[in-house]
Structure 1
Amino acid sequence: MTEQQREETSDDGVLTRIGQAIMLHRAGDREEARNRLHTLWHEIGPYGNAFHRCTLAHYMADTQDDPKDELDWDLRALEVAEGFLTQRPEADTGTRGGGQVADGRGPRHPVIALRAFFPVLHLNLAADYVTLDRPADARAQLLRARVWADALTDGAYRRGFRAEIEHLEGRIGAAPGRPS
């Protein structure tokens, strides 16, 4: 591995590259964002930093054109996060996890970073299931999202999740076939 490759896959380099792909996506270049995230996914590999892999899969889902592909990537993000939390305790040293506090205040223990990510992972899965007309699966994911959101410290972040959950619950409630 060259010095440049080591630098590009360092904690800061990976997060920077994920951020650049997100900016491309938000600017309307979905295909280039998807290509860059795909390349980075393969560079990180299956044993790479769990926080990076989870974040990358989460954003990769947003770049998909097919709702089933989006669901697959959102499931992959959740699988990575859950897998990290269920590792042996001695593996939970922070050396494989890493993580950045959402407000940019610096690194935080990987378990804390990933736990804060669970509400959005479940909320995205619920939205995927709504899109795929699977209301029972969507409701199950919303329940999980609510549990994880309720575990967050009270504040704007938590209230935002609660509002999103309620909004999606309203969409499911308006869907045909809902039991009375």
Structure 2
Amino acid sequence: MAEDRMADIFAAVRLGGERPAAARRALLTLWQELDNGGDPLQRCVIAHHLADLQDTAAQSLRWDQRALGAVFGPGVPLDEGMRGFLPALYLNLADSHRRIGEFELARMQLTIARGHLEVLAADAYGALIRTRLDRVEAALTSGTTDRLPADLLGRRC
């Protein structure tokens, strides 16, 4: 059942590139099916990807917060799999805070993200997260609240 649910989640995520509205609907349906008692990893993945599909930075921030909340929920063991999400989750929080003009909160989230980088392998994904951290930091330094181009921060971390 859990494997089937993850397959459904990833099928919905794949829709996001071509049909974002359909992906958003599918992920929201899965989120509602899980309710508050669902598997923390599933809740994290759904919220993480729903954040990417929102129209406003404020909406993205709420979903980014839900994704992190799934990781740190009551009684949720912070295993290696969940720890591996932390740099991307904090990166996305930083970017959402930056986009709504909360620069100090964004800097704090970037610092936390950098503090979790040791969990990332020296592979393409690790390089992607590190590059995106640098790009969000550069946007912060310039004081912009603009959405970064998808090729720079396609947020699907």
TM over 0.5: yes
2:151 aligned residue: none
- Aligned match of 1:126 in 94, 97, 122? 94
Q: What TM-score comes out, normalization by structure 2 length?
A: 0.84
8 Å CA contact retained: 1:119, 1:145: yes
Counterparts of 1:52-91 in structure 2, within 5 Å, are 52-83=42-73, 87=75
- Aligned match of 2:21 in 31, 41, 45? 31
Cα 1:14–1:128 change in 2 (3 A) is same
SS of the residue corresponding to residue 26 of structure 1 reads coil
8 Å CA contact retained: 2:83, 2:119: no
Which has the bigger relative contact order, CA under 8 A and spacing at least 6?
Answer: 2
Aligned-residue offset at 1:157:
3.1
Structure 2 gap segments, 5+ residues each: 145-157
1:11 aligns with 2:2: yes
Q: Distance in 1 between matches of 2:115 and 2:127?
A: 13
2:140 aligned residue: 172
Q: Distance in 2 between matches of 1:49 and 1:151?
A: 22
Q: Distance in 1 between matches of 2:97 and 2:113?
A: 13
How many residues of Structure 1 are paired with residues of Structure 2 in the alignment? 144
Stretches of 4+ moved more than 4 A in 1? none
SS of the residue corresponding to residue 83 of structure 1 reads coil
Q: Which amino acid aligns with 1:159?
A: A
8 Å CA contact retained: 1:150, 1:158: no
SS of the residue corresponding to residue 43 of structure 1 reads helix
Q: Distance in 1 between matches of 2:98 and 2:17?
A: 23
**Greater C-alpha radius of gyration:** 1
Q: Over the residues paired in the alignment, what is the CA RMSD in angstroms?
A: 1.8
